[in-house]
């Protein structure tokens, strides 16, 4: 395999993925290199289903082996929500800060701060040939949002073994341990070992 399409136009993710594959003899393309397309409806009921919807669409549309990821935050106090609806959940609030306050309120009420981030990556090599790689990082919801780095829920997530949120870490530090990195490492060893 000489090239792979990463089905994403999120520059932060693209940067992370390209960095990981930098030393490999494989060219990683991304959606920004192509004319804008109407993206498929992510109506799966799991991270892996949504990842597969995107990677199989990419393979069919561009005729290149394609991979896509789907991730989110699962909070025990919210019955493991927002989960696959993490992106939409943030949009329901006027600001990310009010979404964080809502989550922290639920955590305080239930006295349970456990949470995890999960990523599923689907690699679609050819029609009917799809492989899923998963990554998960467990931790807890912080008492207040802290930190300016990263994106999404980073300011309220403290991974196990750390005393700071993802948003207090620089990208190098976060990308060493993140859910996405764990899943990408699995895909990398599948492709190159």
Least CB distance from residue 84 to ligand IMP, whole Å?
8
Q: Is 70 in the site for ligand IMP (CB under 6 A)?
A: yes
The number of angstroms, rounded, from the C-alpha of 46 to the middle of its chain's C-alpha atoms is 13
Q: Is 90 in the site for ligand IMP (CB under 6 A)?
A: yes
Omega of the bond prior to 54 within 30 degrees of 0, cis?
no
Distance CA 25, CA 193 (A): 13
Q: Is 145 in the site for ligand IMP (CB under 6 A)?
A: no
Token look-up 């520059």 returns: 11
Q: Is 153 in the site for ligand IMP (CB under 6 A)?
A: yes
Instruction: Tell me the backbone φ, ψ of residue 35, rounded to 5 degrees.
Output: -60, 140
Q: Is 178 in the site for ligand IMP (CB under 6 A)?
A: yes
Q: From the list 48, 56, 86, 120, which residue makes contact with ligand IMP (rule: CB under 6 A)?
A: 86
Helix axes 11-20, 179-192, angle to 10 degrees: 40
Q: Is 100 in the site for ligand IMP (CB under 6 A)?
A: no
The number of angstroms, rounded, from the C-alpha of 74 to the middle of its chain's C-alpha atoms is 12
* 3-22 footprint of ligand IMP as x/- string (CB under 6 A): --------------------
User: In this structure, are residues 165 and 155 in contact, taking their beta carbons and an 8 Å threshold?
Assistant: yes
Q: From the list 34, 93, 151, 190, which residue makes contact with ligand IMP (rule: CB under 6 A)?
A: 151
- For the annotated catalytic residues, the residue numbers are 70
Binding site for ligand IMP (CB under 6 A): 69-73, 86-87, 90, 117, 150-154, 166, 178
């Amino acid at each position: 395999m000489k090239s792979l399409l990463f089905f994403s136009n999120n520059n932060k993710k693209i940067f992370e993925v390209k960095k990981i594959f930098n030393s490999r003899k494989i060219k990683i393309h991304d959606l920004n290199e192509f004319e804008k397309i109407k993206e498929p409806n992510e109506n799966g009921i799991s991270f892996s289903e949504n990842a597969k919807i995107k990677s199989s669409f990419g393979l069919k549309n561009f005729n290149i082996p394609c991979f896509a990821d789907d991730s989110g935050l699962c909070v025990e106090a919210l019955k493991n929500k927002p989960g696959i609806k993490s992106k939409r959940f943030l949009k329901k609030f006027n600001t990310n800060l009010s979404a964080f306050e809502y989550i922290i309120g639920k955590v305080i009420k239930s006295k349970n701060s456990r949470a995890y981030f999960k990523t599923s990556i689907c690699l679609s090599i050819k029609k009917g040939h799809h492989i899923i790689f998963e990554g998960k990082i467990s931790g807890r919801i912080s008492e207040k949002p802290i930190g300016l780095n990263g994106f999404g829920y980073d300011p309220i997530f403290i991974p196990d073994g750390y005393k700071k949120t993802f948003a207090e870490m620089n990208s190098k530090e976060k990308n060493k341990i993140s859910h996405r990195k764990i899943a990408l490492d699995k895909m990398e060893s599948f492709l190159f070992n």
